[in-house]
Structure 1
Amino acid sequence: MNKHNKPKFRIGDTVVVTIYGTVGKITEIKTIDGEFFYEVNDSEGLFKEKTLELLDTYEGYIFEQEQIDIEYKFLFGDLVIVRGYENDLFKIVGFRTEIWRYKEDAWEEVIYELMRVSDGEWLEANEEELTLIADVEQAEAFIRKYGLVFPGKNEEQPLLLQNSGEDKMVWIDQLLDYYNDNKLLYQLFSDEKYLKKMEYILEQLRQQSVQIVKEKE
């Protein structure tokens, strides 16, 4: 049985957890087998009265806790390219924060764990090495739309789809879509092969336009 009928501390009291030297506020009080137990800072654990002391009366050592706010630039499922691997597309599958503390210096570094979309190969990189291509909400749509024309290690994409007899206006729409695909890839990677494809597609569009004009004459 507890020696007194009322708890020594009240909700909202600022106390020191003497076994750790940490400071917190009482957020809940529970009674178990007639003994009072205290929840501090909404933590899952409970402390006995003898392990707590009001901050105002505590004379021991207080461990200074450091609060670190980490802002993550990339999230699970985001699609990125990595410095040095510009011809590959990676997906964020995990990340961790490394905290470095020295006597006269301190910093935090976020390390991202990546999976290459083409073959599942695993890679690690920091934020400075990554460029966002599509966030998680747009990732699957991006892969469906650009996956077949995204540059890979050992693949050469066909320069242009062949006209299979569709209506010429539909064919022109397809040419424009393919032009926009290559324009995006050129903007991402500055690879001349995409610029050459764009030039070739424009020539195809000019030929189609001339043909349509002749047919109308």
Structure 2
Amino acid sequence: MDAKAPKFQVGDTVVVKVYGTVGKITAVRQLEGGYFYVVNDREGLLAEQSLARLEEYDGILYKKEEVNIELKFFIGDIVKVKGYGGVLFKIVGFRTEIWRYAEDAWEDVIYEMVSIPKGEWLEADEEELLLIADAGQADSFVSRYQFFYPMKSSPLYQLVTSDLKTQEKIDRLLDMYNDYALLLNLFGDEAYRAMLEAVKMQIQVLSAHGGPD
């Protein structure tokens, strides 16, 4: 064998000695007069001395298992949870739990979320969740949700529950409407369109009362 030829070739089955894991050479690189290898298309290069042919290796081999888990929900999604009525939650994280026994095996995905608008923490598995709005629609949906279930800190809530006369409330709502219309025109964010609709509906409600207070 040519002394300058690589010890391993693409397709060779090797053991990564430091881990005791088995893989296949998927690429060979020559750098600074030496050969380095990519195993199983993983990032990083391994030197020849860190590898051994499977048939020549006399250390302990560790079986490596690859687990593919399909997620039904993602960070930012708005969901309902069984047993919590009409309360909405926003997913802020998730974790996986892998269970292995002699005669059984399964994987669980636990979702971490906070309630809207109180921010109370909750964990639940995917069988308990119902998708209400995906992450891309979440901001717009929450804007509409806060109109029907407004937070006390919301400017809209504070205005419509204030002691102002009906016409004064309508005048301020019109100013608010113009502000949101300008923001929508400048930034095109659908959340502003949702707030325009919310303000418009409140103006209609107040106008239906008719006449001064």
Structure 1 residue ranges, 4+ long, deviating more than 6 angstroms after superposition: none
One-letter code aligned to 2:26: T
User: What percent identity do the matched residue pairs reach?
Assistant: 54
Matched, 1:133 2:132: yes
Distance 1:55 1:149 in 2: 66
Q: Which amino acid aligns with 1:124?
A: E
Partner of 1:123: 122
2-structure distance, mates of 1:143, 1:151: 10
Q: Which residue of 2 aligns with 1:7?
A: 6
Q: CA deviation at 1:87?
A: 2.9
Shift of 1:33: 4.5
1:134, CA displacement in angstroms? Answer: 1.1
Name the SS of the counterpart of 1:77 in structure 2: coil
CA contact (8 A) 1:87 1:151 kept: no
Report the RMSD for the aligned CA atoms in angstroms: 3.0
Structure 2 residue matching 1:104: 3-state secondary structure? coil
AA aligned to 1:63 is Y
AA matched with 1:71: E
SS at match of 1:85: coil
* Separation in structure 1 between the aligned mates of residue 32 and residue 142 of structure 2, nearest angstrom: 60
Question: Unpaired runs of 5+ in structure 2?
Answer: 152-156, 161-165, 168-207, 209-213
Match of 1:92 in 2: 91
- The residue aligned with 2:70 is 71
Give the residue type in structure 2 aligned to 1:37. Answer: F
Q: CA deviation at 1:50?
A: 2.7
- Superposition deviation, residue 57 in structure 1: 5.2
Which whole-Å CA distance do the structure 1 matches of 2:149 and 2:101 have between them?
44
* Cα distance in 2, alignment partners of residues 32 and 137 from structure 1: 45
Query: Following TM superposition, by how much is the alpha carbon of 1:77 offset from its aligned partner in structure 2, in angstroms?
Result: 0.9
- Tell me by how many angstroms 1:11 deviates: 2.5
151 and 107 in structure 1: CA distance in 2 versus 1, 3 angstrom threshold: farther
Tell me the amino acid that sits aligned with residue 76 of structure 1: I
Residue type of the alignment partner of 2:48: E
Shift of 1:150: 4.2
The residue that corresponds to 2:25 in the other structure is 26
Task: Give, as a single letter, the amino acid of the residue that structure 2 aligns with 1:108.
Answer: E
Q: Secondary structure at the match of 1:124?
A: strand
Aligned residues of 1:88 and 1:151 also touching (Cα < 8 A) = no
Residue 140 (structure 2) pairs with residue 147 (structure 1): no
- Give the Cα separation in 2 of the matches to 1:67 and 1:33: 34
2:101 maps to 102
Cα offset for 1:31?
A: 3.9
The range that moved more, 91-100 or 47-56, is 47-56
In the alignment, the residues of structure 2 paired with residue 127 and residue 151 of structure 1 have an alpha-carbon distance, to the nearest angstrom, of: 28
Match of 1:177 in 2: none
Q: How many aligned positions are there? A: 155
The one-letter amino acid of 2:77's match is D
Which TM-score applies when normalising by structure 1?
0.60
> SS where residue 145 of structure 1 aligns?
helix
CA distance in 2, matches of 1:68, 1:99: 9
Q: Quick check: 1:47 aligned with 2:49? A: no
TM-score by length of 2: 0.61
